[in-house]
Structure 1
């Protein structure tokens, strides 16, 4: 250990005039980027849209999957100027379910400039739906909650395993069963939300930001590495270390790959070659291993979104029940599997965390959570609050408009079918 430290010391003494400026630049760059992000976010214009639908609409989650595929078109590549001078961020949306006073509402919060994109793709899948401007219901939460008369509690959900492992998705509930055996996975949640008292509310926020399959390949690479480990293919492990060292290493690797491609000295293994390797090994895998390999490859084969899931329960102190948020957590557990993926609570961001002065700190932690919940804060940087990658099939599983398999009487609906979307809606 002493020899290693001496080597690092000698390197720093010899090359400090190179290392110090680079380290200072990377350190200051993060402060600069954070400043630009705050400035950029404050200038965004948002709108909350409520989605209503007729009572006799019959759609499976496949329709919502196509909707998510459509709004993925908002994904944009950020160049140096947009990222480091303007502070431009990828677009993000908030897909929301609200149970309030025994009624259930569906909302989509989006930037104003993406309203036409959202409406067009929603009408394409649900032509008889009604989309209206809505007041932001989170504004009704009293300032400073929790207070002496009002209380709130919420948490964030994260995945139990790496993002490349999929959760249990809607084909298991719909496509792989006979018609009479099909059940909607969100039916139980709707029944619970419709049973809330008039002054109780529970909201689920699914925040999503499209990721590029071209520039954001880490999720795909992780999935390929998982498959490689199972089938016995050699996998190049990524080395983790200090942020500055890791970032410098990634820059050098990218430069080296560019030189290799420029001179035609090598190339990436083709997708066809990878598939053939998997096919050769598959007969020798156990049934469980085969299931994991096929599930991971199917998962990374669809387009994805950076995702953050939060839910919060709020009510007057005399009605507040700590047991009700556990019902929502239980809803998400039905998508868990032992060999693939599942949801768990992010303890690092949940109010009540920590052991030192826990009771005194919890009210402040709750107020902080209420604040980021109301603002729909999206974690573009590594913080205690963090997201994961979901593909469009996984998103459609946990959020879709109910069809004939759901019979909750208090869903927010329009009374009759409509002829179609507005004629003045722009085409895309």
Structure 2
């Protein structure tokens, strides 16, 4: 018995005018498109609901970290801290993710300069406080860690505001995240006196922070989301591209290719108008190491080096909040971008302001409302420590993170207004005291000026206020100057 396939209805369909063809297609298959769209929307709304419900019960705390005078630890110590924080990574099964709403909790590394006085902070889920303290004390045994109120309290997140204006942006990578930025190792030297062996890139940021006047506030934030090891496969894919090796095809791409090829073959069976079509396939020939250029060799080695260390999904944000009469965007914006550009490896990767979506700068049409929306968004995202809003997180390993956020090395940093402990201690404090009588930036600023988080009496020299304007003289209790 012969099987005959009649393609006449299909041929008649393709012979119809375009408007009738589209109409029949929507009548017969349009419901499928809307069904898929509905399911995708339902998925997003459901996950947002259950995750929001679960996340509302999570308590976060803000820890101020002061290191002792005479810090000679290089960023390698902070790199070890971040490796320890990777222990917060957890995986969720289907029930935990879809019905309980559980998700990976994040940390926030922050540097805040309030009117020229600078503090290093880490925002963490309360249940990971011991993890953070252990990470810090393991590298800085004489450090002081205390819980403080959120310095963002009392500042506006809706603009225009009568008193304050804001500049801010997220930073994104210019190349694939498997290519590393310049790290602290490239700021180290083998020759010369001790104070020149490491040229601390943090010095520029500390100088910028200490130059802020009364009414100016600079906030720098790196969101850390612990992740697993699946990202290492992306490194292999990038290496294969450099070597000219055929890339791996995912199951989804294979399915799409099968559908497209089937439709193409079917159309060729129905119509002969295409004539003989020469099938072209991409030819891949793997390069040998001798055929690679020096740049290609360097890129492969850099990817392998980055893949050898733990990594986090990251977001980088900066917000400059200042009273309108003293705001100096040119100084702070250009200065901070200059600090970030120190880490540019032009043949590998670098960080740049996200001018397209999050930076408080717009061009072309409808500029006023768009600028206001961006100011509101970047400020709100920063204050909420939001790890999903804005641009897609990218990957940085612990060495890159330690380069971007570390305590300044005293021998190479001229940062007179960085809060540090006045003297070394034999062991970390057993009880950390929190002052609940004040809040927001006033509480943090008082703590920075006092140099002591306990309730001890302070002498006059310990409680000097900063000058009203200009760079001024640092308080007597701060370690430099």
TM-score w.r.t. structure 2 length? Answer: 0.73
1:395-414 to 2 correspondence within 5 Å?
Answer: 395-403=401-409, 404-414=411-421
Q: Which residue of 2 aligns with 1:70?
A: 84
Matched, 1:90 2:104: yes
SS of residue paired to 1:162? coil
For residue 229 of structure 1, the aligned residue among 241, 245, 264 is 241
Q: Which moved more, 1:307-316 or 1:322-331?
A: 322-331
Higher RCO (C-alpha 8 Å, min separation 6): 1
Matched, 1:390 2:402: no
1:327-385: per-residue Cα shift (whole Å, max 9, x none)? 11111111112210001111212223352220243223212221111111111xxx643
In structure 1, the gaps of 5 or more residues are 240-244, 250-277
For residue 335 of structure 2, the aligned residue among 327, 339, 344 is 327
Q: Which residue of 1 aligns with 2:302?
A: 295
1:251-275: per-residue Cα shift (whole Å, max 9, x none)? xxxxxxxxxxxxxxxxxxxxxxxxx
Q: Which residue of 2 aligns with 1:338?
A: 346
Inter-partner Cα distance in structure 2 for 1:21 and 1:361: 33
1:5-154 to 2 correspondence within 5 Å?
Answer: 24-142=38-156, 144-154=158-168
1:210-234: per-residue Cα shift (whole Å, max 9, x none)? 1111xxx2x3222211111222322
1:272-314: per-residue Cα shift (whole Å, max 9, x none)? xxxxxx9x93343222211111001111221110100000001
1:124-203 to 2 correspondence within 5 Å?
Answer: 124-142=138-156, 144-174=158-188, 179=194, 180-203=196-219
Inter-partner Cα distance in structure 1 for 2:24 and 2:87: 51
Q: How many residues align?
A: 384
Shift of 1:414: 0.9
Shift of 1:12: 9.3
Question: What value does the CA root-mean-square deviation take over the aligned residues?
Answer: 3.1
Mapped contact 1:95–1:206 kept (Cα < 8 A): yes
For residue 361 of structure 2, the aligned residue among 352, 374, 398 is 352
Inter-partner Cα distance in structure 2 for 1:104 and 1:82: 40
1:300-319 to 2 correspondence within 5 Å?
Answer: 300-319=307-326
Inter-partner Cα distance in structure 1 for 2:29 and 2:220: 52
Mapped contact 1:352–1:359 kept (Cα < 8 A): no
Inter-partner Cα distance in structure 1 for 2:341 and 2:327: 23
Mapped contact 1:94–1:109 kept (Cα < 8 A): yes
Inter-partner Cα distance in structure 2 for 1:199 and 1:57: 30
TM-score w.r.t. structure 1 length? Answer: 0.82
Shift of 1:44: 1.6
Mapped contact 2:97–2:103 kept (Cα < 8 A): yes
Shift of 1:177: 6.4
Q: Which moved more, 1:143-152 or 1:393-402?
A: 143-152
Mapped contact 2:144–2:429 kept (Cα < 8 A): no
Q: 1:310 to 1:176 in 2, by over 3 A?
A: farther
Shift of 1:174: 2.1
For residue 425 of structure 2, the aligned residue among 397, 414, 418 is 418
Shift of 1:236: 2.2
Inter-partner Cα distance in structure 1 for 2:414 and 2:364: 44
Inter-partner Cα distance in structure 1 for 2:371 and 2:84: 41
1:144-179: per-residue Cα shift (whole Å, max 9, x none)? 344122111111000001110100011111266665
